[in-house]
Amino acid sequence: MQFSSGKIKPHVGWLALPFALVFFAYFVLPLVLTIIVSFWDYTDYAIIPALILDNYIYIFDGCFSNEGGLCLTLKTYLSTFFFCFFTWLITLVLGFCVAYFLAFYVNSIPLQVCLFLVCTIPFWTSNVIRMVSWIPLLGRNGLVNEFFLSLGIIDQPIEWLLYSSFSVILALVHLYTLFMIVPIFNSMIRIDRSIVEAAYDAGASHRQIIFNIIIPLSKTGIIIGSIFVVTVVMGDFLTIGIMGGQQLASVGKIINTEMNYLQFPGAAANAVILLIITIFIIYVMTRFIDIRKEL
């Protein structure tokens, strides 16, 4: 809390230097370069230093006229927001429940640590493997369909289990729920138990305790988890590609295609727009809470 006054003792300032350098070299510099390149011109085989707005104009081409429905960029962002919103909602509910259980129902600390580690086990394999392993389960001749068919619940395989919005969100939730659990758990564990006990003694119901005490006090964790999930899903193209059968649009996929076709300035412009939109979402989220104060 002392740091918030802005006075750092001069002789310890250099301690921040290594991180500042890393931050500069691997974040600030590439970002600045991306922004610069987004104003460059390009051909099939070269990028040409220039200061043009064409790449941006191209992105919003047709977005401000009413002909032919939504433009590519809007459609793509809507599709990306759709995945982002539902993934966020489901990971939030799931993550909150798991964290709540771990923090308040498991009383011994060793068991808590143990169960927490169990949650991380899926992360010992690569995320591509975790994703691809859904395919034999959900496919037309997959385990789920075969199971339902053998029980006679369905007489035709369910097609929308795989290569659909459903499978994309399922995989995203599977991949990123932990990102919610960790920060929420971290906030919950710091809630003073005596507050909960006091509320209980004063006659608060279980529901009231959750909504009036636990949720407000774990807000920091919820927001941090949300930032993780939202930023990761906004830029995703691998999961949406593989689980969506490459038929569903995402901003990441468009950038990826442009990179493959050496349209670096176009990709850079798209990346800048994506960055602005993602930063805006995070800005709105952090309006709900001052993260620095809470940490």
Partner 1 sequence: MKNDKFSRRQMLKLSAGTVAATGLGLYAPAVISSDPITLRYLGTAVSMGDEVQKKLFEDTGLKVKFIAVTTDEVTKRVLTQPNSFDIVDTEYFSLPKLVPSGNILGMDTKRIKEWDNVTSIFTKGITPKGKKVGLQGTAPSKVMYLEGSTGKKFANDVTQYATLIPTIYNADTLGIRPDLIGRPITSWAELLNPEFKGKAATLNIPSIGIMDAAMVVEAMGEYKYPDKGNMTKSEIDLTMKIFTEAKKSGQFRAFWTDFNESVNLMASGEVVIQSMWSPAITAVKAQGKDCIYQPLKEGYRAWAAGFALPKTTKGKTADAVYEFVNWYLSGWVGAYLNRQGYYSAVLPTAKQYMSEDEWGFWMEGKSAKGDIVSPTGAKLASAGEKRDGGSYEDRMGGVACWNATMDENKYMVRKWNEMVAA
List residues near partner 1 by CB under 8 A: 43-46, 58, 72, 75-76, 79, 135-136, 139-142, 159, 162-163, 241-242, 245-249, 253-254, 257-263, 266
**Closest-CA residue to 19 (of 10, 11, 28):** 28
Is 292 in contact with 2 (CB distance < 8 Å)?
Answer: no
Q: Which is nearer to partner 1, 125 or 257 (CB)?
A: 257
Q: Which is nearer to partner 1, 145 or 187 (CB)?
A: 145
Please report how close the Cβ of residue 40 comes to partner 1 at its closest, in angstroms. Answer: 14
**Residue whose pair of structure tokens reads 């930023």 in the numeric block:** 231
205/200 Cα distance (integer angstroms): 7
Other CB atoms within 10 A of residue 157 CB? 16
CA nearest to 233, candidates 79, 130, 115? 79
Residue 274 CB, shortest distance to partner 1, in Å, is 15
Q: How far is the CB of 25 from partner 1 (least distance, A)?
A: 20
- Pick between residue 138 and residue 184 the one whose CB is nearest to partner 1: 138
Please report which residue ranges of the chain form alpha helices under DSSP H. 17-23, 29-37, 54-59, 72-100, 109-120, 127-132, 135-138, 143-151, 165-188, 193-201, 206-209, 215-217, 219-234, 238-243, 251-260, 264-287, 291-294
**Nearer to partner 1 by C-beta: 139 or 225?**
139
Choice between 2 and 260, CB closer to partner 1: 260
* Cα–Cα distances in angstroms (integers) from residue 294 to residues 87, 186, 196, in the given order: 25, 12, 19
Least spacing, CB of residue 154 vs partner 1, in Å: 16
Instruction: State which residue, 44 or 201, has the beta carbon closest to partner 1.
Output: 44
Q: How far is the CB of 208 from partner 1 (least distance, A)?
A: 46
Tell me how far, at minimum, the Cβ of 252 lies from partner 1, in Å: 12
